[in-house]
A and B are shown apart, each in its own frame.
Chain A
Amino acid sequence: MSKSKLTTMREAIARHVPSGSMVVLGTQLAQMIPFAAGHELIRQGKRDLTLAGPASDILFDQLIGAGCVSRVMASWIGNLTGGVGYCFRRAVERQIPQRVDTVDYTNFTMALALHAAAMGVPFMPTYSTFGSDLNAKNGNLREFPSPVNEDKLIAVRALRPDVAIVQVQRADQGGNAHLWGSLGVAVDAARAARSVIVIAEEIVAPEVIASDPNRTLIPEFLVAAVVHEPFGAHPSPVQGYYGRDHAFFTQYHEQSRELDDFEQWLQRWVLRVPGRPEYVKQLGDCRVGELAVRQHAYSAPADFGY
């Protein structure tokens, strides 16, 4: 059995995400966004982070509003059901709480940037973004002539984050992780990053992982730390564990419109909350219960026998 990498959220973030890091998160798009990890980044006062990823719903906005971020490399920064991200807007337009630079991607080109790093090559080619002002302004998207035909393509430069924070359904103590449902760019992000923090709803025995190796999308040798953090993705959903708290996103939208309101929101939901268990308590049993899976839908077992 491999050695345990189980640790607390506080320790994982303290050890593996120094200020100034490039962090990829929100890799499964609207699902499994590592909010608990993001809130710990805020509580520990990380500064000068570069956030990377296709999108992270309102987590990017919160990290920006809390002053942790100096650069965002992403395709979409806002509130999926609310619209704009007000903290992001304040930072870009008025440098509140500080200036944030953006390097704008599309979902495809962000996926390709991580894929190139995952493959160990300097770029991946695409026909996307031709004619878009994005490739005129993002120096990581460069036109080049195809060496094998007459086409021109866009080279998407490999993106190698310092750390990937990936929320999963279950993992063993060594970091072998099962995830399913919305995968997005998670697999390539884990391979692309220099180290990976796995945030798991459940810690399971290695035998459970080994029983279904097709579902092991992150192997232990990529992983630096494993954190057991139930409800760690709330208000985003985790397939098979809990649903999306739509009202929370709407409430955040209202409560982040004005700077003072956002600061109160941040105090209430992040800064005055020691960790995820207390956060869940603050949500209340009723709200947590409403998000529970109403009808389980287990896959048929696959026979790995021989």
Chain B
Amino acid sequence: MDEHAEWRARIGAAADGELSLPEQAALARHVAGCAACAGAWASALEVRAAMARSAGAPGARTVPRRRLGRSARRIVVVLLIVGGVIAGWLARDWWGVAADVPVEDGRAAIVVP
């Protein structure tokens, strides 16, 4: 078990209120310098808040996450479209192309004048 796994276990215990004050202080010192553990702590608290809200606790609220701005969303959409076009082009080269005419149009026909 690595060091972060041990801290994540303590985060779970802290969210459940099972840590002593010295242990809480040590955890706070570590979380102040560890972004991953800070995220894990926020997630643990959000999970418990969601469970409390579903159980009917009136004061329980989920922590609002940061949302993408309008320009960022545009960039993501453009990147997805460009990526889809490139993927389609590569797939066309990889697997070949489908027939350019419907099957029935390419079949022989006998025409009586």
Query: Is the A/B pair a real complex?
Result: no
Which of B's residues lie within 8 Å of A, judged by CB?
none
Spell out A's residues near B (CB within 8 Å): none
